[in-house]
Amino acid sequence: MRMRMKRTIIALFAAVSVATLAVAPINAEAAGKKKSVSVKKSNKKVHKVIAAKRAPRVRHHMALDDATSLSVQSASALVIDQTSGSVLYEKNAQAVLPIASITKLMTAMVTLDAQPGMDEVLAIGEEDVDTLKGTRSRLTVGTRISREELLKLALMSSENRAASALSRHYAGGRPAFVAAMNKKAQTLGLTETRFEDPTGLTAANVSSARDLARMVEAAHRYPLIRQFTTTSESEVQVSGRTQTFRNTNQLVKSPSWDIGLSKTGYINEAGKCLVMQAWFNNKPTVIVLLDSWGKLTRIGDANRIKRWVESAALPSTATPG
């Protein structure tokens, strides 16, 4: 009896041991998984902390590349940081369009490149009268005026007869002058720009916003162009009378604008155009607006661009935390 009970106890003990051994690895595996998951979670937290310490802190107020907040009505537009050359905003910037009197920036550069006598007195002739669009002018035929004054009136008041006279008194005459305009465009890398006259009255004078941004930068290198395009008004002696000529861009006299260069343009085929170099947030910025309609659309676009750029700070320089 005792022997049977002993055998029974031994058998029970063995069964319990086997069961324990069978369960132990399973529990150990489960425990290992829990421990592994816990370690992974812990490692992720550590990695996040390390990454946060290593990553530079960059503060964003409003990204300039987020153009959803900017509404530009002009058909073609381009805004460029002149210092870095980075595009801040663009809309159909590759479209080749008539540029009207924006042409006169090239007219001014070609005139000044020839280094003529700026005090030389030139005469307005019948050849300078606009027979294409029939535009009017206070520079009557026979008016004698210095080359410098003609350049000022062409740039400030967009005087077509002034631009025409400048080209006509170029060595080789107007054909040579227009050829020099196109050669200058090639030199500047303006591949989408062509000129057929010095005034912009013809729709055959075309360019793109991208090309015009380069042309504005080139024109900005000429002190007289900067001066004359930003003069709000000037008194000029015309046929013995003092006459006041005003800038075609009303923004040049606004105290809220710091403009380094400006030029407007308009013919029916081109719509209203405006190019400027202006300072926003202490940075030089180039603005090109083409094919605007409505009396104040281009001015409205320019003001909207100004507010957008000034209220949008670029990310600060990243520094280790």
Residues that are catalytic: 101, 104, 158
Tokens coding 262:
């400006």
With beta carbons less than 8 A apart as the criterion, state whether 122 and 116 touch. no
Helix axes 160-168, 173-187, angle to 10 degrees: 100
Residue 215's Cβ-side half-sphere holds a number of Cα atoms within 13 Å equal to 33
Cα torsion for 210, 213, 214, 219, to the nearest 10°? Answer: 150
Q: What is the DSSP string of 180-191?
A: HHHHHHHHTT-T
Q: Give the neighbor-by-neighbor strand order of the sheet with 259-267.
A: 87-91, 76-81, 283-292, 271-280, 259-267
Q: Residue 121's beta-bridge partner residues?
A: 146
**Sign of the dihedral through C-alpha 20, 25, 26, 31:** positive
Q: Three-state SS for 296?
A: coil
SS (H, E, C) 239-263: CCEEEEEECCCHHHHCCCCCEEEEE
Residue 203's Cβ-side half-sphere holds a number of Cα atoms within 13 Å equal to 9
Between strands 144-146 and 87-91, the pairing is unpaired
